[in-house]
Amino acid sequence: MAGAAATRGEAAAGPSSAATKPTFFKAVKWGMIQDGNTVADKFALCRDLGYDGMELESPVAASAANIRRASEATGMPVHGLVNMKHWEVRMSSPDPAVRDQAHEFMNQAIRDAHAFGGSSVLLVPGQVTGPDETHDDVWQRSIVEIRRVLPLASKLGVRVLIENVWNGFCETPDQLRDYLDEIDSPWVGAYFDIGNAWRFAPSQEWIRTLGTRIVKLDVKGWGVTAGFCKIGDGDIQWDEVRSALGEVRYAGWATAEVGGGDRDRLADIAARMNRVLDIAS
């Protein structure tokens, strides 16, 4: 299961002079699933609605054994995890003790991802908060801490993927590209959030700049007037986004990150993802 998740979850290697139709595997964030009393129920629900896999969280209450059983029973791989501690315990903190703690949380997330069969951990590397945590501080401190976890990541086959978020850091595609290139590791890439990017520049511009550094996608809607909104609403030019992803030969996971809910809500999200990403239902 782990090998399948890693293969399906990674973007195609190498640029192409001719665009191809991108390939997407749909998933939802674990916290979005409000129906289902057990881990197995939640996996089965998402399978029945046409999702291809799951993205979980670290720390997570469910045991690795239960998650593995549900994954194998439904054929729904866990493609990765989100490090849920990265905002409050930041790699960019001015306090070395906090950075050490962030290092340990990230190591645990990598171990969890491996135990669940996942190929990645989503990481927000820090936050610009003021004179003790500037953009340069986040850049330099987080690179040091990310490099510290790479031996474990490479040993277990789990990639560290940096998400573009509204944290005051790398708010242009050129900055994020250069940040990833300075880390300079095959075990680090971009977890590109299509909706988050639009506030700063059209998402397709980010995609063309980041290219094959993009390993996985978060999917949400956003508009100048609407703010965060349902997938397909707002200002995102989905035709252009698909074209740009085709140019960089994207093939990998696309995970919804919107308000969740019951079966009907999750079905609507799946239908909206099919429409904007041009996925056959």
- Residue 171 CA to residue 160 CA, distance in Å, equals 19
DSSP code of residue 261? B
Q: Which amino acid is at 151?
A: P
CA neighbor of 173 nearest in space, from 135, 204, 195: 204
pLDDT of 17 reads 53
**Where in the sequence is the domain holding 269, given as residue range(s)?**
2-277
Is residue 239 over pLDDT 60? Answer: yes
Domain count, the chain: 1
Q: What is the CATH number of the domain that holds 267?
A: 3.20.20.150
Q: Please work out, in degrees rounded to the nearest 5, the angle formed at the alpha carbon of residue 184 by the alpha carbons of 178 and 187.
A: 120
Q: Could you tell me if 186 and 160 are in contact, meaning their C-beta atoms sit under 8 angstroms apart?
A: no
Question: For 142, how many CA atoms within 13 A lie in the half-sphere containing its CB?
Answer: 29
Which residues, other chains included, contact 3 with Cβ-Cβ below 8 Å and sequence gap of 6+? none
> Taking residues 148-157, what's their average pLDDT?
98
Mean pLDDT of the chain: 93
> Taking residues 90-114, what's their average pLDDT?
98
Q: Which pTM value belongs to this model?
A: 0.92
DSSP code of residue 186? T
Confidence of residue 19 (pLDDT cuts 50, 70, 90): confident
Which residues, other chains included, contact 75 with Cβ-Cβ below 8 Å and sequence gap of 6+? 47
Q: Which amino acid is at 133?
A: E
Query: Is 157 exposed, middle or buried (CB count within 10 Å of its CB: 0-12, 13-18, 19+)?
Result: middle
Confidence of residue 14 (pLDDT cuts 50, 70, 90): very low
> Taking residues 29-44, what's their average pLDDT?
96
Which residues, other chains included, contact 223 with Cβ-Cβ below 8 Å and sequence gap of 6+? 198, 229, 233, 234, 235, 236
- Residue 241 CA to residue 133 CA, distance in Å, equals 33
Is residue 146 over pLDDT 80? Answer: yes
**pLDDT cut 90: percent of the chain above it:** 91
pLDDT of 62 reads 87
CA neighbor of 99 nearest in space, from 150, 133, 130: 133
pLDDT of 7 reads 35
Q: Could you tell me if 242 and 235 are in contact, meaning their C-beta atoms sit under 8 angstroms apart?
A: no
